[in-house]
Amino acid sequence: MILSQRYLSAYKVFQKIKWLGMLLSGITIFFMMFYTSADVLIRNINGTSPLHAYEISQYYFMPLAVFPALAYTFGEGMMPRIEFVITKAKSLVIQRIAAISLIVIEIVLMLLLAVFGWQYLMHAFGSGMAFTAGGTNYPLSLVILFVPLGFFLVVIEMIFLLVKNIKGKQPSFVVIEKHEVTDV
């Protein structure tokens, strides 16, 4: 299938944004491993640790390890889908209708998650939401920002995918197939 040059260049820009999200998640996982190891080491030496690795990992590292990389995982086809069921249909028309229907449902669901995540973010900012570790309050608002942002990026990925499936002849669950070369 031949996609327009404008479509491909817009998607290449979006791929760079997704790649930055994946990079942020990867760096976060590295820091989480380092931070947890430092906490264990300090606990073994001193018997106690001021790092509060459990709370920091739960409220900071884990959301930052997951949400920024959501669009990247969807774009690479890593998220579970039922495409194997769709490909079992004998008619190409039924396959396309099923694929487009699923993508539209995913867009609606991810958009709802983005909207309600945004409302939760506004509540967190307004109420000064925080968690306590070792008697100190740590703000949550900046981390919660990545929840609606991650889901919104998935919506953008799904819109690119929807356009490809509407214009194409074959159902597809990734915008750019593995055999197509892309620069990131």
Half-sphere exposure (CA, 13 Å, Cβ side) for 10?
12
Q: Two tokens at 42?
A: 């300090």
Say what percent of the chain tops pLDDT 90: 74
Taking the C-alpha atoms of residue 176 and residue 11, their distance in angstroms, rounded to an integer, is: 9
Give domain limits for the chain: 5-167
CB–CB of 24/72 below 8 Å?
Answer: no
Query: pLDDT tens, 136-167?
Result: 999 999 999 999 999 999 999 999 999 999 99
Query: pLDDT tens, 110-135?
Result: 999 999 999 999 999 999 999 999 89
Please name the helix (run of DSSP H) or strand (run of DSSP E) that holds residue 80, with its range, or none. none
Taking the C-alpha atoms of residue 151 and residue 159, their distance in angstroms, rounded to an integer, is: 12
Tally Cβ neighbours within 10 Å of residue 87: 13
CB–CB of 111/155 below 8 Å?
Answer: yes
Query: pLDDT tens, 26-57?
Result: 999 999 999 999 999 999 999 988 999 999 99
Q: Two tokens at 73?
A: 């995982």
Q: Is 154 exposed, middle or buried (0-12, 13-18, 19+ CB in 10 A)?
A: buried
Within the chain, residue ranges assigned H as helices are: 5-46, 53-56, 62-66, 70-75, 83-86, 92-127, 141-144, 146-167
